[in-house]
Chain A
């Protein structure tokens, strides 16, 4: 039972355009969402996160949108650069009353983003 789904295995965009990566979740207990980027032969690198009390969070070229009613989040990269080419993972956590997930993140299967020069 996949609680976090990234339905697009791959995405190809032109340099300078917008990249939109999507993620759906099923567990209503998830209250914190993160995006990670992974290059080959490296571990995942944290990119951006959003709490369930917000619907948008921006950090430079990266913006994450959260639609709780639809259980959907998306990552926008504007403008896309060739160096953004990597695997992007959506992750979610269900923090307990104390506010910690104790290291447990539930990951999606990842989307391979390719940005063409």
Chain B
């Protein structure tokens, strides 16, 4: 069974640009969550999608947005990039949201120059 797949794995952008990251969940998983990992703040929750609907959102500015497609694949977008957006962005999928057991991808490493 394939795991959670995230693309691209690495990318470099400059301030002011925007970026789109993609996530393919494990087959059969309908819940997709996104997390930002930085050395200073650790792993922080961005948002969660289920059946194309955003059900939960963390404390991030509106520049961070996401969506989910009918096949459960998800994208997140960050507009007007800032230096502080440099981070590892992790996507996680879940079959049973009741357990809290999330299956994480390897992440997309974003560097903003």
Flag whether A44 is at the interface (Cβ < 8 A): yes
Q: How many angstroms from the CA of A49 to the CA of B35 in the assembled complex?
A: 19
Contact partner, A103, options B42, B43, B97, B105, Cβ 8 Å: B97
A41 in complex: contacting residue of B4, B56, B103, B106, CB < 8 Å? B106
Let me know if B103 and A99 touch, CB within 8 A. Answer: no
Residues of B within 8 A of A32 (CB): 100
Shortest Cβ distance from A43 into chain B, in angstroms?
Answer: 3
B38 CB to closest chain A CB (Å) equals 11
Chain B interface bracket (under 10, 10 to 19, 20 to 34, 35 or more): 20 to 34
Given contacts A93-B100, A104-B58, A106-B45, contact A43 B107 (CB under 8 A): yes
Mask of A71-100 contacts with B, CB within 8 angstroms, 1/0: 000000000000000000101010100011
A49 vs B42: C-alpha distance when bound (angstroms): 20
Q: Is the CB of A110 within 8 A of B33?
A: no
Given A103-B33, A103-B45, A107-B43, are A95 and B100 also a contact pair (CB < 8 Å)? yes
With a cutoff of 8 Å between Cβ atoms, the chain A residues found around residue B104 in the complex are 36, 43-45
A42:B106 contact, CB within 8 angstroms: yes
Note all chain B residues with C-beta closer than 8 A to A108: 42
Closest residue of chain A to B31, judged by CB?
A103
Interface set, chain B 1-50, CB cutoff 8 A to A: 4, 31-33, 35, 42-45, 48, 50
Residues of B within 8 A of A101 (CB): 56, 97, 100
**Given A43-B90, A43-B92, A43-B106, A100-B42 contact (CB < 8 Å):** no
Shortest Cβ distance from residue A13 to the other chain B in the assembled complex, whole angstroms? 23
A99-B99 Cα distance, complex, nearest whole Å: 9
Residues of B within 8 A of A34 (CB): 100-101
In the complex, are the beta carbons of A105 and B42 less than 8 A apart? no
Chain A residues in the interface with B (C-beta under 8 A): 32, 34, 36, 41-46, 49, 89, 91, 93, 95, 99-110
B residues near A, CB below 8 A? Answer: 4, 31-33, 35, 42-45, 48, 50, 55-56, 58, 90, 92, 94, 97-107
Q: Could you list 17 A-B pairs, sorted by A, with CB under 8 Å?
A: A43-B90, A43-B105, A43-B107, A46-B102, A46-B103, A91-B100, A93-B100, A99-B98, A100-B97, A102-B97, A103-B31, A103-B45, A103-B48, A103-B92, A104-B58, A107-B35, A109-B42
